[in-house]
Each structure stands twice: as C-alpha cells, then as structure tokens.
Amino acid sequence: GRPLSRLQTRQPPSYPILHIGLDCSTPALLYQRIQQRTRAMLHKGLADEYESLRDKYGPDLPLLQTLGYQEMGNYTAGRLSLEEAESLIVLRTRQLAKRQRTWFHAQQNVTWFNADQTGLGDAIISLINHQFS
C-alpha cells in the first residue's frame, strides 16, 4: 500500500469537505472518562470476551495484541492482577488519547467543538447547514 499522506495529496476532493473535531474541555475530564470507560468494559466482561476470542481464533489473532485485549491476555495468563491490568489499560489509553489530541490539533481547517457543551448536536447541524447552504 501507499502512505495515507500520498493518497491525500494526489488530487483535491471533488466535493466540499467540512472537518469537525470534538474535544473535552479539560484533560482531567477526559482522563476521568477513560477511567470510567475502562471500569465499565471490565465489569461487562472484557476478560471473558478476550478468552472467547482467543479460544475461537487462537492467541496470535492480531486483535488480541491491541490496547485492552493485550492487558487482558496478561491478566488471564496470571501475569497481572485485575487491578494491574486496569491500571495499564487506563495508562495506555491516556497515552493514546494524548497522541491523538496532538495529531488532530495539528490538522488544518478543523472546526472544534467542546464535546461537553450544551446543544452540541444543534451547533454542529447549524454549522453544516451554514457551510453547505
């Protein structure tokens, strides 16, 4: 394959594009949500899901090497406690979120919205209607 950057610069799009970004108001709020989401995934059976996928497709399934599943693999193998696995998932997700925020904020022509703002959907629809009317 070709790098995405090469494909993007090949020719301009034949239709108008509107880039919309959503961001949390503060990193602390984002990190709190990451913690809550991780706990919810664990309570909903992430370890069981990992084992089911591993048993059906084998431990070398690339999906099982991704964030969350990798830690569950170490947990189910006895190399990590559940608390250690949770802490690692939270840490690695925070690190990924930081890299993603850095990358997205470097992009040009993005209209940013606070994901926590009241009336977010209406504000985005208004922007779209204004942009394409």
For the stretch 38-89, pLDDT in tens is 999 999 999 999 999 999 999 999 999 999 999 999 999 999 999 999 999 9
Residue 128 lies in a domain: no
The amino acid that residue 88 corresponds to is: L
Strand partners, 114: 23
pLDDT at 130 over 90: yes
Q: What pTM does this model have?
A: 0.80
Q: How many domains does the chain have?
A: 1
Task: Assign residue 62 the CATH number of its domain.
Answer: 1.10.287.890
Q: Which of 45, 41, 61 is nearest to 53 (CA)?
A: 61
Residue 11 pLDDT level (bands cut at 50, 70, 90): confident
Residue 20 lies in a domain: no
Burial (Cβ within 10 Å: 0-12, 13-18, ≥19) of residue 95: exposed
Per the structure, the complete domain to which residue 38 belongs is given by 25-108
